[in-house]
Amino acid sequence: MKIRLMQCFDVDLLDGIIRNSAVYPFVSDDACPAPDDFTCRSLVEDEKNIFVLVYDDFAPVGCFAFLGNELHTCMLLECRGRNAVDAGNQAIAYFFEKTGAVEVTSFAFEEMPQTLWYAKALGFQRDGEPFKHTQTRGGLPLTRINFKKEKS
Q: What is the mean pLDDT of each run of 10 residues along the chain (152 residues)?
A: 94 98 94 96 98 93 98 96 96 97 96 94 96 91 96 92
Give, in degrees to the nearest 5, the angle at Cα 21 between 72 and 33: 70
What pLDDT was estimated at residue 37?
A: 97
Residue 95 in 3-state DSSP?
Answer: helix
What pLDDT was estimated at residue 84?
A: 97
What pLDDT was estimated at residue 143?
A: 95
What pLDDT was estimated at residue 58?
A: 79
Residue 129 in 3-state DSSP?
Answer: coil
Q: Give the amino acid at 55.
A: Y
User: Considering only CA atoms, which of 115, 106, 104, 105 is closest in space to residue 137?
Assistant: 115
Strand stretches in the chain, DSSP E? 4-7, 49-56, 59-67, 70-75, 103-109, 125-126, 131-137, 140-150
